[in-house]
Amino acid sequence: MRFRTVTSPHILAEAGVAQLMRRVLYAMAPGIMALIWFFGWGVLVNLALATSIALAAEAAMLLARGKPAVAQLNDYSAVVTAWLLAVALPPLSPWWLTATGVVSAIVVAKHLYGGLGYNPFNPAMIGYVVLLISFPREMSTWLIPHGFGQPEAVTWSETLRAIFGGVMPERFAPDALTGATPLDVLRTQLGLGLNVAEIRNSPVFGIVAGSGWEWATLGFLAGGLWLVYTRTAAWQIPVGMLGALAVVATVFHVVNPQRYAPPWFHLWSGAAIFGAFFIATDPVTASTTPRGRLFYGAGIGLLVYIIRGFGGYPDGVAFAVLLMNIAAPTIDLYTPPRVFGARRE
């Protein structure tokens, strides 16, 4: 009897790329649900819009590059990019904003650099930064969080009209509908000479950090921990990033509590948790050695604090991640693990 031959190992683990990517999507679900609860249907529309544009752009690029489009579309990596970006966009962003961001991410940041596995920069963050630099006004008009179904909440039809028609709901006074994000508030008011305790009394703040935001953060933390538990995300990156952020924030807070917010505020604000578990852990653009990942995460945490505290933007996760993306190959070079049987240093 004759047989086919294939090289060993003859058995493989079940988790393929598609499964890993799907796990990331599942893990984002609790946080996304919290966002929808507080910011309305716009979040969902953004997600759907970004997903469809991302898939279309991915398919077009794969075809243009002569790759097996069907097989690679099924890897879900474009969907993950779309979701990461959509979550970071203001809930009533006009459709062209989402489209610009997604196309920058998929076409420029991913496929022009060689596609899945070859892009040096996190595509979602490239898309986000392109928007942040090009359209700063649109990117900073966040809705003021309200509970689901409350009279102040934006309705379905208002959402659709805002996103696709560019018409903001008329029944709100401009200040009642949108406002600055909590980190933005902290930044501007610190600039006005107020101290941290005074600013914290502002209504945008809740128990730990931004009201409403903090629940979404909790959701992302839960999902992120599950990712780490299932080994989908490397634990070293969130530990390194949040650890470094906490340490620096503590140091500054101890030195001058008036001027610098406490560490728990920093950890729980903006995209720190979301970034630590979902963005920085993108394996393609992160460091790959175990020790390197700690350094890589720590670098991001440090940069986030520097940008928040001293830079020109209220939050710095996107910039920090991109900057550390540049450093990742160098980090890898200097942090190889000690090979079994090699002499200990």
101-120 positions binding other proteins, by CB under 8 A: 115-118
Give CA–CA dist 265/246, Å, rounded. Answer: 9
Q: Is the backbone peptide bond immediately before 262 cis, with ω within 30 degrees of 0?
A: no
Taking each helix axis from N to C end, the angle separating 123-134 and 95-103, rounded to the nearest 10 degrees, works out to 130
Mark residues 303-332: x for contact with other proteins by CB under 8 A, - for none: -----------------------------x
Please give the Cα distance from 31 to 222 (Å, whole number): 8
Measured distance CA(210)–CA(130) in Å, rounded: 25
Among 188, 290, 326, 334, binds other proteins (CB under 8 A): 290
Asked whether 277 and 238 are in contact (CB, 8 A), the reply is: yes
283 binds other proteins (CB under 8 A): yes
Give the span between the Cα atoms of 38 and 67, in whole angstroms.
Answer: 41
Residue placing its CB nearer to other proteins in the complex, 7 or 201 = 7
Span from 54-62, 129-137, 142-150, 333-341 in contact with other proteins (CB under 8 A) = 333-341
Asked if residue 98 lies in contact with residue 139, where contact means CB atoms within 8 angstroms, the answer is no
The C-alpha angle 156, 158, 159, rounded to 5 degrees, equals 65
User: Which member of 14, 170, 175, 345 binds other proteins (CB under 8 A)?
Assistant: 14
Q: Nearer Cβ to other proteins, position 11 or 255?
A: 11
Q: Which is nearer to other proteins, 16 or 165 (CB)?
A: 16
- How far apart, in Å, are the Cα atoms of 85 and each of 46, 91, 133, 169, 185? 9, 12, 15, 24, 23
CA dist 288 and 292 (Å) reads: 7
Smallest gap, in angstroms, from Cβ of residue 25 to other proteins? Answer: 14
Listed ranges 14-22, 41-49, 217-225, 259-267: which one lies at the site for other proteins (CB under 8 A): 14-22
Of 2, 66, 149, 312, which one interacts with other proteins (CB under 8 A)?
Answer: 2
How many CB atoms lie under 10 A from the CB of residue 152?
A: 14
Q: Which is nearer to other proteins, 48 or 71 (CB)?
A: 71
Task: Give the one residue of 66, 193, 342, 345 binding other proteins; rule: CB under 8 A.
Answer: 342
Smallest distance, Å, CB 115 to other proteins? 7
> Does residue 137 bind other proteins (CB under 8 A)?
no
Q: In this structure, what are the phi and psi dihedrals at residue 205, rounded to the nearest 5 degrees?
A: -95, 145
Tokens (6 digits) for 138: 């649109």
Q: How far is the CB of 145 from other proteins (least distance, A)?
A: 35
How far apart, in whole angstroms, are the C-alpha atoms of residue 74 and residue 19? 10
What mask of x and - would describe binding to other proteins in positions 54 to 93, judged by CB under 8 A? --------------x-xxx-xx-x----------------
What residues make contact with other proteins under the rule CB under 8 A?
A: 1-20, 68, 70-72, 74-75, 77, 115-118, 231, 234, 283-284, 286, 288-290, 293, 332, 336-343
